A and B are shown apart, each in its own frame.
Chain A
């Protein structure tokens, strides 16, 4: 029971402080789940993210479900998912019903501009630690470079990039020397 509360509360916090969509969530998940609670490893988080990228649904929700399931099977999956969506539901309903001019408030506008800058810095830090963890040899660097080219140069969808990477991994296993 205590674990379920912790799960709910951790994901509630992540949901409440994620500004700017799924990717902005990674630094928070890293701090909350990997460093503070030690529920999952950094590699787990990367794997969840990549699978969440090419399975149906919102990436953030997929990642929450993964972590929750790992901790406490189906109940954990539902509780973690619930934790991440509850802050959104409350805030959005408040904004839509009573805080109509929320976004026009100058304080809100300035605060969001400040948060956006911090989010960029937080993600840059995540990028460094994921790079250290996920790219261990020349093949890894090659996959990274090709993926970056496909994503930024050609605008290929992230889901397709993940699937291509999996295919490449399988080919390496079958014919390469890993």
Chain B
């Protein structure tokens, strides 16, 4: 029955956590208080691991919490339950949007949303900047990478792999 409980609890997190990965954190603290699935300390470790492994933060945390609680199947179930509400809601929204595509109100809404999104990305990049650029060397590297990315259009994965190599070689 643990699987059903996992499904239900993570489904709720997926449904209520609006705004992405870190928003799931308070919900997970609540789960930690409610069940003996993981302690606060384990949760803190989970956040650290999720933040420094690839993939969306919320997904990583659901997998970790589910796996800790009930093994591999638990990890899979928690992750799928977390994403199910998104899929349902988004599919529904897409249908509504495509029906009202030509509606001037909808278009004005999007017209105003886009500059706001640019601001949100600016905010996120400042946060990442503070985490990544910690000394002169990292600042120089960041500038060099930026110039390269701007002028040499290759797949970002190549740059990410380069970053890993540079990090290891320079012992960043």
Contact = CB atoms under 8 A, between A and B. Distances in A.
Interface in A6-65: 13, 15-28, 31-32, 35-36, 43, 46-47, 49-62, 65
A103 B51 CA distance: 11
Contacts, number: 370
Interface string B26-64: 000000000000000000000011111111111110011
A26 B118 CA distance: 12
Contacts of B4: none
Contacts of A173: 104-105, 107-109
Interface residues of A, number: 108
Chain B, interface size category, equals 35 or more
A120 B156 contact: no
Interface string A112-140: 11111111111111111011011100011
A116 B123 contact: no
Contacts of B63: 88-89, 92-93
Secondary structure at the A interface, as helix, strand, loop or mixed, is helix
B172 interface: yes
A58 B21 contact: yes
A169 B56 contact: no
3 A-B pairs with the lowest CB-CB distances in the bound complex, closest first: A114-B167, A57-B86, A169-B112
Interface of A: 13, 15-28, 31-32, 35-36, 43, 46-47, 49-62, 65-66, 69-70, 74, 77-78, 81, 84-85, 87-89, 91-93, 95-97, 102-103, 106-107, 110-128, 130-131, 133-135, 139-141, 143-145, 147-148, 151-152, 157-159, 161-162, 164-166, 168-170, 172-174, 178
Given A115-B167, A172-B108, 11 more contacts: A19-B160, A20-B51, A46-B114, A58-B59, A60-B58, A81-B86, A111-B163, A130-B121, A134-B117, A147-B118, A165-B116
